[in-house]
Structure 1
Amino acid sequence: MENKNISKAVIGVLVVLVVLLGGYIAVSGGKSAATANGASEAAALPMETYQAQYVKPETPIDRSKNVTLPGWGGFTIPAKTKKITQGFEFHNPAENLWYEDWVSIDGTPLEKLVVDSGQTAELSHYLRLAGIQADVTKVLDADPAFFDIQKNDAGAYTIEAVKGYKGEKTLTVQADDGKQYTLTLTGKEECYYIAFGLYLEDGDELLFQSGLVAPGLYVQKMEMTRALAPGEYPAYVVCQPYLSDRTTKTNSGIVKLTLTVG
């Protein structure tokens, strides 16, 4: 009798354990499913409403004019005097004076064109610099005396500045977005000044340093630091160009020559 009671008790305990285990599995499965569903819902973020195709921003092109430096084979100057008025030549080539046209849209400067340089630019390039994603389909007005408008092999309109001026001129274009845009081209005179330094190779001795020489002009006389005895001296000239602000230096050039003193 006692054994039967024990057996019944054991069976009862087992039944309770089975019921509890089943409930645990059900609850765990529910939590896992809820977690999985929750993670899935969290990953599915809403799409950004304001989207558009990415277009790489246009960047300005450096169309700066290179400086033109003079060249010499040698100088022949008089001996035993520091004041020299002949036999040398420090000149700034006239090519170092030019005109630039700064292109702007709605008052925002975009890029410059060097006049009479052979440089061309697509008109659509300026629209993109201004953040306008459109292509020029027609040029409505442009002064042919100052601007040469052409179509390149790809069918894009190009502009070349062919004559210098001071002040503003405008150019209106039609674009494929159905709008018209006005480009303002502001012309200004630009130049490179050059300062000349005459050195002896022996000890890099400075004999003469000029001030700034304007394009198309030359140094009429130089007063050297000392007079030289007759003979031939290996020498060199340092040509230091400056921008039109007369302060900013650009890349200098060195010209070697023979200084003949007699």
Structure 2
Amino acid sequence: MENKNTSRVVIGVLVVLVLLLGGYIAVSGGKSAATANGASEAAALPMETYQAQYVKPETPIDRSKNVTLPGWGGFTIPAKTKKITQGFEFHNPAENLWYEDWVSLDGTTLEKLVVDSGQTTELSHYLRLAGIQAEVTKVLDADPAYFEIQKTDAGAYTIEAVKGYKGEKTLTVQTDDGKQYTLTLTGKEECYYIAFGLYLEDGDELLFQSGLVAPGLYVQKMEMTRALAPGEYPAYVVCQPYLSDRTTKTNSGIVKLTLTVG
């Protein structure tokens, strides 16, 4: 009887060991499979629904007009007087007055065109500035008195501003996707003012400083800081342009000359 009980205990222990071993194998095998196939069994992340080919954004081109500076070889002024009304010339060239057309789409200003500058711009460029990736295939409305529209050999439509105006004009284009866009071109007058400073090279002595001179005008009279004795003086003029706001300076120019006093 005792042997039978012992046998039953041994058998029970063996059964428990077999069950434990089977469970260990099952768990170990499952972990190995998960490790081996983890990359394929892991849930893949969803793709972004709204995707499109990346196109580098278009950037505006600086089409600012360069200032035109006058040039001189020399001045001849009277001696022994500070008030000079002849023999000098401080003028602001008429070329420093011009018109600009500011191009906008749906109220957003994109870029400017300088009138009568010879600059041409692809109309599709303005659409790209507005984030529209399309090519202009037709120009439906443009005033030929103010805008010259041309088509290049490559099929691109370009615009050139040929006449100035004040106010707004519109230009409608059609693109390769069949859509139409209306560009607004706002014309305004723009200019450079110039202030003139006359210096002697000796000690960089300032003899005269003008106020702002408008395009097409000149200084009629200058009162120097002192009268000069007869002779020839190496001198120079500092030409300082200002934008139309009359506060913002642009790059200045220096013109060397001989100041003849007699």
Q: What does 1:1-262 correspond to in 2, within 5 Å?
A: 24=24, 26-42=26-42, 44-262=44-262
User: Aligned in 2, Cα 1:203/1:18: closer, same or farther, shift over 3 Å?
Assistant: farther
Offset of 1:58 from its aligned partner?
Answer: 1.2
Moved more, 22-31 or 187-196: 22-31
Change (3 A) 1:2 1:114: same
1:43 and 1:220 map into 2 onto residues whose CA distance is: 85
Is there any run of 5+ residues in structure 2 with no aligned partner, and where? none
Q: Distance in 2 between matches of 1:123 and 1:17?
A: 84
Q: Distance in 1 between matches of 2:20 and 2:259?
A: 111
Distance in 2 (CA, whole Å) between partners of 1:179 and 1:126 is 15
Deviation at 1:42, TM superposition (A): 4.5
**How many residue pairs align between the two structures?**
262
Distance 2:162 2:43 in 1: 60
Please, which moves more after superposition, 210-219 or 134-143? Answer: 134-143
Q: Secondary structure at the match of 1:43?
A: coil
| Alpha-carbon offset, residue 23 of structure 1 | 5.5
TM-score, with structure 1 as normaliser: 0.90
For 2:7 and 2:230, locate their aligned partners in 1 and report how far apart those are by CA, in whole Å.
136
- Please identify runs of 4+ aligned residues in structure 1 that moved more than 6 A: 1-22
Tell me: CA distance 1:6–1:224, structure 2 relative to 1, closer, same or farther (3 Å).
farther
Range with greater deviation from structure 2 (53-62 or 69-78): 53-62
**Which region of structure 1 is more displaced relative to structure 2, 123-132 or 156-165?**
123-132
Deviation at 1:20, TM superposition (A): 6.6
Distance 1:161 1:254 in 2: 32
Q: Work out the CA distance in 1 between the residues paired with 2:42 and 2:205.
A: 78
> What is the root-mean-square deviation of aligned Cα atoms in Å?
3.0
Deviations along 1:30-52, one digit per CA (max 9) or x if unpaired, are 22322454454547211111111
Contiguous gaps of at least 5 residues in structure 1: none
Distance apart, 1:174 and its partner CA: 1.2
User: What TM-score results when the alignment is normalised by the length of structure 2?
Assistant: 0.90
